[in-house]
C-alpha cells in the first residue's frame, strides 16, 4: 500500500492538531500539571517524577542549572544508606518501555560528579504528561557527590537547562515535552516554598502565586538560564559593573565572586568563620540593609530576613564566594532569590519572568 508522505506544513499542522487534542483532553479531565516541590529546611527542594512502565517514582531536584536527567540504578555504589537514607533505584528489567543505549555518562556539579550509562524510557512529569523515549542516565556510582548526596532527601536530578549544555547532547526532558506537543505553552514556573511546600508548574504559570504583573528579561544565551545583571548594592557597597547571572533552582544560596561576596558581607556586618562561611549577630537582622539586584533596569531587593539563614542561635549570610572562569556567568541566583521572586522560565521565547510572590 502506498503511504502518503506529509509535507512539512501538513506534518506541522497534524502535530499541532494532536497537541491541541491532548491539551483539551487534559483540561477536560482536570489533570494537574503542578508538581509539588518539597522543602527540606530551605536547603533542598525536590519533587517526584516517574520513570518506566509501570512507572516507578523518584524524588528529583528540578535543576535549572544543568540539563541532564539521572537517577541511581540497582547496584549503584555510594547511593544512600539502607534504613537511614535509602534511595529509590531504577531497575530496567521491570520496565516494558526501557530501551538500552550503553553510552558512558559522567556529569560534574559544583558538589562533585556521578557516573553511569545512558538509557531511554518514559518519563512522566504529571498526569497525561508522559515524555516518550527520554534519554537519561542510570547512575552506578555517586561517590563524587559525597555526604551531601548520600544523606540527601533526593534520588536524582532532572536538569531544566538547554540542550546546548547537556552531556553528550542528550535532548532535555522539557525540550522533548515541547517537541512531543505535551505542553500548553513552552514554559515552566517555580514557586519556592519558605519552610513549606512549593510548586513547579509545567506548561504555564500560577497567577495566584504572584503580586502584580510579571516582568520579563531576555536571556543572554540559551545555555544556562543566563541574564544580564546591571548592578548589586547593599548599604554603602555598590557594584555597578555590568555582569551576568544564572537563575538556578539547584543552588541553595546566592553565589558570586569571592572578593565581591566578602565586601557585601562586610557591608552588612557579617564576619567569616573557620569554615569560610559568613555569620552575623542574629539580633541585628532587622537593621540589615536590603541587598538589591538590578536586572534589566528594575530593582529586586532582598531584606535582611531573606539573606540570612537562621539555625538555632547561629545566623549565616546566605551568600557564598565562588570564582567562575570566564566566559561563564559570575553570579548564581539560587533558591534564596527564588523564594522572594516567582520565576517563569520561558523556553519558547528564551526569556525569564519575575514577580514578587504573594
More confident of the two residues 19 and 292: 292
The single residue listed with the C-alpha cell 557579617 is 270
Q: The C-alpha cell of 11 is what?
A: 506534518
Q: How confident is the model at residue 33 (pLDDT cuts 50, 70, 90)?
A: confident
CA 294 to chain centre: 22
Q: What pLDDT does residue 111 have?
A: 84
Q: How far apart are CA 113 and CA 78, in angstroms?
A: 12
H-helix or E-strand spanning residue 336: helix 335-340
Mean pLDDT of the chain: 90
Q: How confident is the model at residue 11 (pLDDT cuts 50, 70, 90)?
A: very low
Fold matches, 31-202 and 210-356? yes
Return the SS3 of 30. coil
pLDDT at 194 over 80: yes
What is the model's pTM?
Answer: 0.89
Q: How far apart are CA 223 and CA 219, in angstroms?
A: 9
Provide φ and ψ at 173, rounded to 5°. -60, -45
Q: What pLDDT does residue 84 have?
A: 85
Q: How far apart are CA 134 and CA 101, in angstroms?
A: 11
Q: Taken in order 294, 300, 301, 302, is the CA torsion positive or negative? A: negative
Beta bridge partners, 126, equal 129
Q: How far apart are CA 238 and CA 330, in angstroms?
A: 16
pLDDT at 13 over 80: no
Q: Which of 107, 140, 129, 115 is nearest to 49 (CA)?
A: 129
Residues catalogued as catalytic:
63, 248
Q: Domain limits of the chain?
A: 31-202, 210-356
pLDDT at 232 over 80: yes
Q: What is the mean pLDDT of residues 285-311?
A: 95
Give strand ranges (E) for 2-128: 34-40, 44-51, 56-63, 69-77, 99-109, 112-126
Q: How confident is the model at residue 237 (pLDDT cuts 50, 70, 90)?
A: confident
pLDDT at 156 over 90: yes
Q: How confident is the model at residue 236 (pLDDT cuts 50, 70, 90)?
A: confident
Q: Decide if 271 contacts 281 (C-beta within 8 A).
A: no
Per-residue model confidence as pLDDT tens digits over 68-115 = 999 999 999 999 988 888 999 999 999 999 999 999 999 999 889 999
Q: Decide if 77 contacts 142 (C-beta within 8 A).
A: yes
Highest CATH level, class, for 31-202: mainly beta
H-helix or E-strand spanning residue 31: none
Q: What is the CATH topology of the domain spanning 210-356?
A: Cathepsin D, subunit A; domain 1 (2.40.70)
Return the SS3 of 264. helix
Q: Decide if 258 contacts 288 (C-beta within 8 A).
A: no
Q: What is the mean pLDDT of residues 210-222?
A: 96
More confident of the two residues 148 and 133: 133
Q: Which of 63, 140, 153, 77 is nearest to 109 (CA)?
A: 63
Q: How confident is the model at residue 143 (pLDDT cuts 50, 70, 90)?
A: very high
β-strands 243-247, 331-333 pairing: parallel
Q: What pLDDT does residue 83 have?
A: 81
Q: What pLDDT does residue 100 have?
A: 97
Q: What pLDDT does residue 82 have?
A: 85
Amino acid at each position: 500500500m502506498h503511504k502518503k508522505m506529509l509535507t512539512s506544513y501538513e506534518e506541522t499542522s497534524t502535530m499541532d492538531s494532536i497537541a491541541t487534542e491532548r491539551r483539551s483532553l487534559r483540561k477536560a479531565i482536570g489533570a494537574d500539571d503542578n508538581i509539588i516541590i518539597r522543602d527540606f529546611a530551605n536547603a533542598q527542594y525536590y519533587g517526584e517524577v516517574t520513570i518506566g512502565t509501570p512507572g516507578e517514582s523518584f524524588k528529583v531536584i528540578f535543576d535549572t542549572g544543568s540539563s541532564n536527567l539521572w537517577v541511581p540504578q540497582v547496584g549503584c555504589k555510594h547511593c544512600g544508606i539502607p534504613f537511614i537514607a535509602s534511595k529509590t533505584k531504577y531497575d530496567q528489567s521491570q520496565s516494558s518501555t526501557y530501551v538500552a543505549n550503553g553510552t558512558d555518562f559522567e556529569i560534574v556539579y559544583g558538589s562533585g560528579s556521578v557516573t553511569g550509562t545512558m538509557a531511554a524510557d518514559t518519563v512522566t512529569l504529571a498526569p497525561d504528561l508522559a515524555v516518550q523515549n527520554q534519554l537519561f542516565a542510570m547512575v552506578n556510582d555517586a561517590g563524587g557527590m559525597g555526604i551531601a548526596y548520600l544523606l540527601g532527601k533526593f534520588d536524582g536530578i532532572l536538569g531544566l537547562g538547554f540542550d546546548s549544555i547537556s552531556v553528550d547532547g542528550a535532548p532535555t526532558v522539557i525540550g522533548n515535552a515541547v517537541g512531543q506537543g505535551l505542553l500548553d505553552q513552552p514554559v515552566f514556573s517555580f514557586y519556592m516554598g519558605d519552610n513549606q511546600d512549593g510548586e513547579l508548574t509545567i506548561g504555564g504559570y500560577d497567577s495566584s502565586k504572584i503580586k502584580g504583573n510579571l516582568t520579563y528579561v531576555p536571556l543572554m544565551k540559551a545555555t544556562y538560564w543566563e541574564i544580564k545583571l546591571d548592578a548589586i548594592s547593599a548599604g554603602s557597597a555598590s557594584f555597578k559593573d555590568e555582569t551576568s547571572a544564572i537563575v538556578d533552582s539547584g543552588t541553595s544560596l546566592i553565589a558570586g565572586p569571592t572578593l565581591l561576596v566578602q565586601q557585601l558581607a562586610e557591608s552588612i556586618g557579617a564576619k567569616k568563620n573557620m569554615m569560610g562561611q559568613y555569620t552575623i549577630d542574629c539580633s541585628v537582622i532587622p537593621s540589615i540593609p536590603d541587598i538589591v539586584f538590578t536586572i534589566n533596569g528594575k530593582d529586586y531587593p532582598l531584606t535582611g530576613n531573606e539573606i540570612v539563614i537562621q539555625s538555632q542561635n547561629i545566623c549565616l549570610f546566605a551568600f557564598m564566594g565562588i570564582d567562575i572562569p570566564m566566559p561563564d556567568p559570575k553570579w548564581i541566583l539560587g533558591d534564596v532569590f527564588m523564594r522572594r521572586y516567582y520565576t517563569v522560565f520561558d523556553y519558547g521565547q528564551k526569556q525569564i519572568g519575575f514577580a514578587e510572590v504573594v
